[in-house]
A and B are shown apart, each in its own frame.
Chain A
Amino acid sequence: MQEKENVLRIMEETKKAIAKGDIFAIKNLSNQTINTASLTQDPDNITVAVIVYSLSKILGRQDYHKLPDWEKFKIVFTSAVDGTIAGLKENNEKIVSDYLEKIRAAIDKLSGKLKIYIQDVFRKARINKASRIYEHGISMGQTAKLLGITQFELASYAGQTGIPDAPLGQTSNTKSRIKLAMDLFS
């Protein structure tokens, strides 16, 4: 894993925020993962970004906590956060990857509404993080590949953000581009 120290700090602070039930702090931590994820494009960094963001959403939904399997899932993600921290401290990348995988596997083992809800949270988290990486200047194709989503999902989400209006994204004269298009069809 690249930028290990940064990821370790984020995971440790996430653990504290989970204990305090500080959803806002967890969401803020997930935003901090994006720079590293965009730059390194390391799969584990990206997974951490998605997981931390998803946790902020899942923990913020009190209605999920009443559903069957919630306590079981809570134990899995708490132990996965602990395990990831331990793995990072020991410089054991395999343990880190394994724990991140355990979270995914735990979701698959859930049943009923909780499984559907949490799968949906993770799917939306991937799209949200993809949009943030695209915002950083990484292409749509590359970003979709990194997050394992389709460009259809990314395009429709990113289109509703401020990304297209960033002044640096304006790269040519409007009139010239229109002329180029019109001339093609003349």
Chain B
Amino acid sequence: MTKAIIFDASTLISFSMNGLIEEVKALKSIFKDGHFIITNEVKSEVIDRPIKIKRFELEALKIKSMLDKGILEMPSALGVKDSEIASKTNEILEIANKTFSGGDRDIKILHLGECACLALAGILNKKGIQNVIAVDERTTRMLVEKPENLKKLFQKKFHIKIFSDPKNFKFFKGFNIIRSTELAYVAYKKNLVRLKGEMVLDAMLYALKFKGCAISNEEIDEIKKLA
């Protein structure tokens, strides 16, 4: 059965900046009938734009090499057209950015790349292709898994009354989310990590957290207990 992991920019960035690209490649090698997919929007965020900036050129090249070698694939590998994703992305962007409001204005919470991941996941769901989204940034995950927490966060930070549209919450149900840390756990359990030893899992999880993966210390402790 075909399956896919849809990578958001945030997750690829966490892996790339920690020198864990080889582990991603190793994961792909055991992902039977599976595809690691990036959308055009994410490609732009992790390859096309940073490759022109000296500070991030190498990171972009590392990710590009995965695309060149077929470790990462574009949605066409699953028969999904870019135009279909673009259209769905705009729809999701519109809905996501009208879900919360405060101070008489809608709060724009998501950008194209994140919405494109959700769009592709929705399209794959309809096609009956099992999929998860790998997203390290916090807002998309909160919107999908606990939008009420996002509302609470806005109220806490903005110090104003926040309104939300609960019917939009339903729109974001049905997506499965993991992070780089869960993928690192799989790599560790499957003995795919190049470094060996008891400390490796802890070191990887914290390294990913410090490069942007939104995971708490408490969650890291729980993951380590499961290992």
Contacts and interface: CB of A to CB of B under 8 A. Distances in A.
B124 interface: no
B30 A185 contact: yes
Contacts of B20: none
B120 to A, nearest CB: 15
Given A141-B137, A169-B149, A184-B31, A38 B109 contact: no
A180 B145 CA distance: 14
A136 B158 CA distance: 8
B221 to A, nearest CB: 9
A151 B45 contact: yes
Contacts, number: 183
Secondary structure at the A interface, as helix, strand, loop or mixed, is: helix
A24 B27 CA distance: 49
B141 A171 contact: yes
Contact of B182 (A135, A155, A166, A180): A180
Contacts of B222: 174-175
A171 B9 contact: no
A1 interface: no
A19 interface: no
B72 interface: no
A172 B182 contact: no
A159 B206 CA distance: 10
A169 B214 contact: yes
26 contacts: A38-B157, A40-B105, A136-B153, A137-B142, A137-B153, A140-B9, A140-B10, A140-B114, A140-B138, A140-B139, A141-B9, A152-B13, A154-B212, A155-B212, A156-B212, A163-B138, A164-B138, A164-B213, A164-B216, A165-B216, A168-B149, A168-B150, A169-B142, A181-B132, A181-B183, A182-B185
Nearest to B11: A155
A78 interface: no
A109 interface: no
B218 interface: yes
Interface residues of A, number: 46
Given A151-B13, A159-B210, A166 B109 contact: no
B119 to A, nearest CB: 14
A90 B172 CA distance: 44
Interface in A100-141: 134-141
Contact of B13 (A145, A155, A167): A155
Contacts of B10: 140-141, 151, 155
Closest 4 CB pairs of A and B: A155-B212, A141-B111, A140-B137, A171-B145
B146 A171 contact: yes
Given A158-B212, A169-B214, A171-B145, A39 B158 contact: yes
A152 to B, nearest CB: 5
